[in-house]
Structure 1
Amino acid sequence: MGLHFNFKEIVTATMVLFAVIDIIGSIPIIIDLRKKVGHIQSGKATIVSAIIMVLFLFVGDKILGLIGIDVNSFAVAGAFIIFFLAIEMILGVSIFKDEISESTSIVPLAFPLIAGAGTMTTLISLRAEYHVENIVIAIMVNSIFVLFVLKASKRIEATLGTVGLSVLRKVFGIILLAIAVKLFATNINQLLN
């Protein structure tokens, strides 16, 4: 069994994951988390999210099956977390309790923001269409971009200013809310059928 590297598959998988991870759309959440806890461990969050994605690519459906959870149930649970993050962004309320900085890099940053239910569901879908090695490269390319955005969050905040960030936060809050609703609606239909 040889490796099947395919540039087209790598590019397509990278673009699909980029859209689903939506690290640009998560900038207001990242800045907000950094304000709450002082700092974010960018490297740790990136490595953990990449490990979660690669592991889920290989054994995700088996792990979920082992504990009796299907992908649709997992996606609905992820939709709830994304929904509450969106409500925080839109209404300016605090639902999630402030936690110490070490755990914030993992939850909610690495999971479910970067490697969330949408990303994991997408990985299973990509695996049905593309060779695994091309998807792994796509995960690595996206992880490098995620690291860059996490490291640059202070500069992005300085460039946008308070008003720009507030507007961006509300706009992406609505987008995040729409993603949560879509993720919920798509997967709840599958669960009910």
Structure 2
Amino acid sequence: MTELFLSAFVTMFVVIDPLGCAPIYASLSHGANDLQRRSMAIRAVFIATAILLVFALWGKQLLGVLGIDLNSFRIAGGIMLFLIAMDMVFEKRTQRREDRAQKIVDTPEVEDVSVFPMAMPMIAGPGSIATVMLMMSRADGTMQRIVVLAAMAAVLLLMLISLLAAGPIMKLLGQKIEAVITRLLGVLLAALAAQFVIDGLKASF
């Protein structure tokens, strides 16, 4: 159970990336007072949690309705995570997030950033949705599913803490340290993604 929790936690932490979202949120919420920042952070994490929970609990049934085999989803999800990992290693993911954030900042009529872009697609994006469904598909029995959900809850709690402390975190880490951490996590995610593909191919053939 401990191994499953750590595997699910590390995978979701790398994909959801609380530390990477913190500087984006800091720039998006620039100009808001402390109360507004807190309320937007809480709302963003709450909405993202609801989205991920829906796919975690009923994603398998959704695949069944669409006629998609679970092993096919494992392979496709693994490839998707591998592409995310490559973006992290070469810092393309960070650049895209910053570009998206700048577009929001340049649009003065958009004030509340909790739903878009924070809740979706930054927290509950395609990568995190696929990851949650993959981890739940690997869980065998109710107890293991609860462990995966606990790992997801832990990552989302860290996300909330990161958003609430976005300003101080940025001052503490700095851009260079954040870039190093992102690249290291990208390498780790690439290995986990490869394992998803291998598991899917083994089960299929």
* Fold similarity call, TM over 0.5: yes
Q: Which residue of structure 1 lines up, in the alignment, with residue 178 of structure 2?
A: 165
Whether contact under 8 Å (1:75, 1:187) holds in the other structure is yes
State the alpha-carbon separation in 2 of the partners of residues 25 and 133 from structure 1.
19
Q: CA deviation at 1:186?
A: 2.1
Letter in 2 for 1:107: P
Q: Which residue of structure 2 lines up, in the alignment, with residue 148 of structure 1?
A: 161
Alignment of 1:38 onto 2:52: no
Alignment of 1:130 onto 2:129: no
Letter in 2 for 1:93: K
Q: CA deviation at 1:174?
A: 1.4
1:21 to 9, 12, 15: 12
Relative CO higher for 1 or 2, CA cutoff 8 Å, sep ≥ 6? Answer: 2
Aligned-residue Cα RMSD (Å) equals 3.7
Over the matched positions of the two proteins, sequence identity in percent amounts to 20
Q: CA deviation at 1:66?
A: 0.3
Q: CA deviation at 1:106?
A: 0.8
1:106 to 120, 126, 131: 120
TM-score by length of 2: 0.65
Q: Which residue of structure 2 lines up, in the alignment, with residue 50 of structure 1?
A: 49
Whether contact under 8 Å (2:8, 2:151) holds in the other structure is yes
Q: Which secondary structure does the structure 1 equivalent of 2:169 belong to?
A: helix
State the alpha-carbon separation in 1 of the partners of residues 25 and 198 from structure 2.
31
Q: Which secondary structure does the structure 2 equivalent of 1:73 belong to?
A: helix
TM-score by length of 1: 0.68
State the alpha-carbon separation in 1 of the partners of residues 16 and 57 from structure 2.
27
Q: Which secondary structure does the structure 2 equivalent of 1:69 belong to?
A: coil
Encode CA deviations 1:14-38: one digit per residue, 9 max, x unaligned: 6554233226982453256548x73
Per the alignment, do residues 103 and 127 of structure 1 end up closer, same or farther by CA in structure 2, a change over 3 Å counting? farther
Q: Which residue of structure 1 lines up, in the alignment, with residue 196 of structure 2?
A: 183
Gaps of 5+ in 1: 1-8
Q: Which residue of structure 1 lines up, in the alignment, with residue 72 of structure 2?
A: 73
Flag the structure with higher helix content.
2
State the alpha-carbon separation in 2 of the partners of residues 188 and 33 from structure 1.
37
Q: Which residue of structure 2 lines up, in the alignment, with residue 4 of structure 1?
A: none
Per the alignment, do residues 131 and 109 of structure 1 end up closer, same or farther by CA in structure 2, a change over 3 Å counting? closer
Per the alignment, do residues 143 and 93 of structure 1 end up closer, same or farther by CA in structure 2, a change over 3 Å counting? closer
Gaps of 5+ in 2: 30-36, 105-112
